Amino acid sequence: MKKIRRLRTGENTFVWLMLIISIAILVLAYQISGISLCAPGTFPFAAAAMMVLTLVLVLVENRKLKKPSGIKGLFDELKKATNRMMPRLIVLYVVIIFAYTIAIKPLHFFPSSFIFLLISTIYLKGTTWKKAIFITSGALVAIYLIFQFVFQVTLP
């Protein structure tokens, strides 16, 4: 017998969110050239319509699945979904990544990457400062040698 999987906490909320975005894309696609059999907007409209249709099908499919256990109301589900999809470790790490990309321009690539790799290695692995400095320096030297001399690409 086929095992029915349990719905992920917040999965339907995500699907609804995507559905709203898809409807907005459908409206934008309609604005390109209306509904026409052969125009610049034909494929965008068809693709957007397919997005809306498939998400409705996903919602129907999800109705047959077992509900996530221990959910008490919408607020509780949102809280648990946030914990599942955006645990503190990942949220903070995404913030670190964005800070790194913003710092590239004013600090330049190597200093910003050094700080990013150093913080990341300590934050994610919990290693000592000494080891982190050694790993980060080694990685950046390797990146410099490979990308400047082998790939010959412009670094940010």
Under the rule (CB under 8 A), what is the footprint of another protein? 5, 8, 10-11, 14-15, 18, 25, 28-29, 32-33, 37-38, 40-44, 47-48, 50-51, 54-55, 57-58, 61, 84-85, 87, 89-90, 93-94, 97-98, 100-101, 104-105, 109, 113, 116-117, 120-121, 124-127, 135, 139, 143, 147, 151-156
Q: Which one, 71 or 135, has the nearer CB to another protein?
A: 135
Q: Residue 85 Cβ, how far from another protein at the closest point, in Å? A: 5
Q: Which one, 46 or 76, has the nearer CB to another protein?
A: 46
Contacts of 123 (CB under 8 A, 6+ apart): 92, 93, 96
Three-class HEC string of 51-63: HHHHHHHHHHHHH
Contacts of 37 (CB under 8 A, 6+ apart): none
Q: Tell me the angle at which helices 73-85 and 11-33 cross, rounded to the nearest 10 degrees.
A: 80
Q: Which one, 79 or 93, has the nearer CB to another protein?
A: 93
Q: How far is CA 57 from the centre of its chain?
A: 23
Q: Residue 97 Cβ, how far from another protein at the closest point, in Å? A: 6
